[in-house]
Amino acid sequence: MRDTYIFAVESSCDETSAAIIKNGCEEIATVVLTQIDIHALYGGVVPEIASRKHIENITIVFEETLKKAGLTVDDIDAIAVTYGPGLIGSLLVGLEAAKTLAFAYNKPLVPVHHIAGHIYANNLEKSMQFPLIALVVSGGHTELIYMKEDYSFERIGGTLDDAVGEAYDKVARVMNLNYPGGPLVDEYAHKGKDTYDLPIPLNDNTYNFSFSGIKSAVINVVHNEKQKGKEINTYDLATSFQERVMGIIVKKTMRALKEYNTENLVVAGGVSANKRLRELLTEECIKNHINLSLPRLAYCTDNAAMIGAAGYYAYKLGRIADLDLNAKANTELK
Ligand code: KG4
Ligand code: ZN
C-alpha cells in the first residue's frame, strides 16, 4: 500500500507547531515553537500576544518542518489543521496558513478537533486498540470519552466548571509558583505529605468532574493561615490537592472502563504528564488487566504531530473541508 503523508498544523494556544506524519503513526518531523517564556511574564497566556507571535513564527515553523523531513509540499497527501477549540486569534493564524498551503498546492484540507489530536498522540506510541476509554486532561478540558472505533467519539462525562489543568494553574498561583503551575505543583506534591483536610471533588456516580470547590478550598486555606500569621506548608498543600484531584479522576476512569466493558485506556492532554496520575493509573491498570497507553512527555502538551496522527484517520474517512473552513473557539468533538 502507498504511504500517506500528512502535513499538520497546530496553533490553538501558545505553541506554534507543524509536523509531517506518515500513515497516522510515524513521526517524520515535528517543530514546536513555544511562547511559554513570554506568557510566564504575565502569569498566563495573553491571547493578543499569542496570535502575534504565531504570525511571526508560522512560516519559519513550516519551512523548518519540511527541511527537517527532507520533503517538499509535493510529497504531501493532505494538510491537517486544528480548527478548534482554542483561542480564536491563535487558531486563525494556523488555519489561514494551512488553507494557503492547501490552495497554493491543490491539496485536501483536513479539519482536526484539538482533543481528537490529543487522543491520537497515543497512536504515535503504539496502534490504538478499540473499544477504548480516553481520559482527556488538559488546561482546557477534563473529559471521559468512549471510542468504539477509529474517529468515533462518545463523551460520557466531563468537567462542570474548571478544567483540571486550569485548577492546577490557579492553585499554583495562590501558592506563588510560576506559570504554568501544573508541573510545579506536581513536583512539590512529590515532596510533601497529605496533611490538609480538603474535600473530594464531586464524588458521585456520574462521570462528571468539578474542581472549582477544591480550588476555592486551597485558596481559603492559604488566606486563613496568612490571616493567623501562620506559614503554609506548600509541599503538603500540593500533596493534599493532588491526591484529592487525581484520586477522583482515577476512580471515575476505572469505573468507566468497567461499565463500558473495555480493556483499553488512553490518556491525553497536558496533564497526562502528571507523575502521580501516571503512577496511580499504572498501578490500577496492572491490577485490573487494562491495556494502558500514555503519550510520551513531548506529545502530552500541544504539538502538531498529534494533529497529523488524527488527521490521517479523518482524511481516510473523507473528512475534507472547503477553503471557507472557519476557526471555532468552542466546538464539540465528533
Ligand atoms: O494540553 P495542554 O498543553 O494545553 C491545553 O490544550 O490546555 O495542557 C496544558 C496544561 C496546563 O494547565 C499545565 O499546567 C498542565 O497542562 N500540566 C500539568 C502538568 N504538566 C502540564 N498539570 C499537572 N501536572 C503536570 N505534570
Ligand atoms: Zn491541548
DSSP string, 100-113: HHHHHHT--EEEEE
Least confident of 50-59, 130-139, 180-189, 314-323: 50-59
Calculate the average pLDDT of the chain: 95
Among 118, 301, 303, residue to substitute to test ligand 1 (most atoms within 8 Å of Cβ)? 301
Ligand 1 mean position, distance from CA 199 (Å): 22
Ligand 1 mean position, distance from CA 141 (Å): 10
DSSP collapsed to 3 states, 191-251: CCCCCCCCCCCCCCCCCCECCHHHHHHHHHHHHHHHHCCCCCCHHHHHHHHHHHHHHHHHH
Radius of gyration of the chain (CA): 20
Quick one: pLDDT band at residue 307, thresholds 50, 70, 90? very high
C-alpha 194/C-alpha 311 separation (Å) is: 42
Cell numbers describing residue 70: 527532507
21 lines ligand 1 (CB under 6 A): no
The DSSP string of 126-151 is S---SSEEEEEESSS-EEEEEESSTT
pTM of the model: 0.94
- Per the rule left: phi > 0, alpha: psi between -120 and 50, beta: everything else, 127 is beta
pLDDT, position 166 = 94
Q: Report, as an integer, the average pLDDT of 276-305.
A: 96
Contact assessment for residue 40 and residue 178, using Cβ atoms and an 8 Å cutoff: yes
Ligand 2 mean position, distance from CA 85 (Å): 9
Cell numbers describing residue 121: 498522540
Q: Report, as an integer, the average pLDDT of 156-173.
A: 95
Strand partners, 291: 264
Q: Report, as an integer, the average pLDDT of 302-327.
A: 97
Terminal CA-to-CA distance of the chain, rounded, Å?
A: 28
Cell numbers describing residue 208: 462528571
Q: Give pLDDT tens digits for 206-233.
A: 999 999 999 999 999 999 998 999 989 9
* pLDDT above 80 for 43: no
Q: Report, as an integer, the average pLDDT of 174-178.
A: 91
182 lines ligand 1 (CB under 6 A): yes
**CB burial class (10 A; 0-12, 13-18, 19+) of residue 289?**
exposed
140 lines ligand 1 (CB under 6 A): yes
Ligand in closest contact with the CA of 276: 1
Q: Report, as an integer, the average pLDDT of 235-256.
A: 98
* pLDDT above 90 for 277: yes
Q: Report, as an integer, the average pLDDT of 297-302.
A: 91
235 or 41, which is more confident: 235
Quick one: pLDDT band at residue 14, thresholds 50, 70, 90? confident
Among 33, 135, 138, 267, residue to substitute to test ligand 1 (most atoms within 8 Å of Cβ)? 138
The DSSP string of 70-83 is T--GGG-SEEEEEE
Please name which of 157, 79, 148 lies closest in space to residue 112, comparing C-alpha atoms: 79
Ligand 2 mean position, distance from CA 142 (Å): 11
Which position has the grid cell 506548608? 233
Q: Give pLDDT tens digits for 80-100.
A: 999 999 999 999 999 999 999
CB atoms within 10 A of CB 72: 9
Cell numbers describing residue 332: 464539540
Q: Please list, in sequence order, all residues whose beta carbon lies within 8 angstroms of the beta carbon of residue 228, skipping any fewer than 6 positions away.
A: none
* pLDDT above 90 for 53: no
Which strands, in side-by-side order, build the sheet including 15-22?
A: 26-34, 15-22, 5-10, 78-84, 109-113
Q: Report, as an integer, the average pLDDT of 135-156.
A: 96
Ligand 1 mean position, distance from CA 300 (Å): 8
